[in-house]
Amino acid sequence: MLAVGLSTTGWATRASADTVTPLNASQIVADMGAGWNLGNSLEASSNGYPSETAWNNPTVTQAQIDRVRAAGFKTIRIPVSYLNAIGSAPNYTIDAAWLNRIQQVVDYAYNRGMYVVINMHGDGYKSVGGSWLICDAADQTTIKAKYQKVWQQIATRFQAYDQRLILESMNENFDGQYGNPTQPCYSNINSYNQIFVDTVRQAGGNNNSRWLLVPGWNTNIDYTAGDYGFVIPTDNHRSSSIPSNEQRLMISVHYYSPWDFAGEENGTITQWGRARPMRRRSPPGGRRTTWTPS
């Protein structure tokens, strides 16, 4: 059941930890089912500021999310950029209108019973104006203080939401050079993840038992699962109701192989993998990728 009331910000509060049975890892993965990514909307930006329609997507609506849910998706990931919507030191206050809009879009899905993942997205991209979460920048002390304050505000805003809201620390953070990870950049990414976990856990409400999602270098599966320096954060501030041998952490990885099928936008390659023996019609010649795993 949802305990509904009015918060000091005017938004409806959400179920408390006492009214929702926590799900373990296998249970929550099964319950989340298939997911859909709301790309190029809340992470879009213009001149260093978040701008929902800057990349030619329409404004997100309840009707749009309802269509996603009707298509069978149970989970939606909402990438979010903050950039220059973050104020100056020492408080680094997020623009209230922007935080309200993020919550409104979250509620489009959450209030329909969906799982929702929100993150910090373009703030770590060197190619984006206003980015600042740069792992090889000189002043890491300032970056980490800002990162902590921003996540403290986000987690506090969503503290009453139950386990159907999952927070993701960042997206594809790396030094901008494609190749093997470098130090100390990877160590800084690990530090960001640890700050994120510690900050969210201590932000009150359901955050002490919430599932948290953390990536490795460039959110790359090989550089996260391989021996390149990824460190899983400690989770020492989680609720005492969580079994001592169970953390509430998920690992985020991206996998784009084969690129000609998963990443190219020209539509030339439409098939990959083994052809089905019972296929009645084969795809047009030359449209199946020749990629094979290494």
Tokens at residue 24, please? 């373990």
Mean pLDDT of 240-247: 86
Residue 133 backbone phi and psi in degrees, to 5:
-85, 65
Mean pLDDT value across the chain: 89
Q: What is the DSSP string of the chain?
A: -----B-TTSSBP---GGGSPPP-HHHHHHHH-SEEE-TTSTT-EETTEE-TTTTSPPPP-HHHHHHHHHTT--EEEE----GGGB--TTT-PBPHHHHHHHHHHHHHHHTTT-EEEEE--GGG-TTSTT----TT-S-HHHHHHHHHHHHHHHHHHTTTS-TTEEEE--SS-S-S--SS--TTHHHHHHHHHHHHHHHHHTSSGGGGT--EEEEEEEEEHHHHHSSSS--PPP-TTS-TTS-TT---EEEEEE---SHHHHT--S----B-SPPPTT-SSPPPTT-B------
| CA dist 286 → 262, 269, 272, 292, 294 (Å) | 16, 8, 11, 16, 22
Higher pLDDT among residues 98 and 285, named by residue = 98
Lowest-pLDDT range of 14-28, 33-47, 149-163, 256-270: 14-28
Would you state the pLDDT for residue 15? 53
Residues 110-127: tens digit of each pLDDT: 999 999 999 999 999 999
Residue among 208, 214, 94 nearest 161 (CA): 208
Neighbours of 291 (CB within 10 A): 15
Q: Are 85 and 95 in contact (CB under 8 A)?
A: yes
Would you state the pLDDT for residue 12? 39
Residues 47-93: tens digit of each pLDDT: 999 999 999 999 999 999 999 999 999 999 999 999 999 999 999 99
Higher pLDDT among residues 60 and 265, named by residue = 60
Mean pLDDT of 237-246: 89
Residues 201-223: tens digit of each pLDDT: 999 999 999 999 999 999 999 99
pLDDT beyond 80 at 13: no
Would you state the pLDDT for residue 277? 55
Mean pLDDT of 127-139: 97
Amino acid making up residue 203: A
| Whole-angstrom distance, CA of residue 124 vs CA of residue 192 | 11
Q: Highest mean pLDDT range out of 16-20, 205-209, 262-266?
A: 205-209
pLDDT beyond 90 at 195: yes
Instruction: Indicate the pTM of the whole model.
Output: 0.88
Residues 165-193: tens digit of each pLDDT: 999 999 999 999 999 999 999 999 999 99
pLDDT beyond 90 at 243: no
Neighbours of 112 (CB within 10 A): 16
| Whole-angstrom distance, CA of residue 234 vs CA of residue 263 | 34
Confidence class of residue 149 from pLDDT cuts 50, 70 and 90?
Answer: very high
Residue among 172, 171, 151, 39 nearest 94 (CA): 151
pLDDT beyond 60 at 283: no
Tokens at residue 126, please? 């060197």
Would you state the pLDDT for residue 235? 95
pLDDT beyond 50 at 10: no
Distance of CA 127 to the CA centre of its chain: 19
- Residue at token pair 């985020």: 252
Q: Are 36 and 75 in contact (CB under 8 A)?
A: yes
| Whole-angstrom distance, CA of residue 164 vs CA of residue 293 | 34
Percent of the chain's residues with pLDDT above 90: 75
Amino acid making up residue 287: R
* 3 state SS for 169-186: CCCCCCCCCCCCCCCCHH
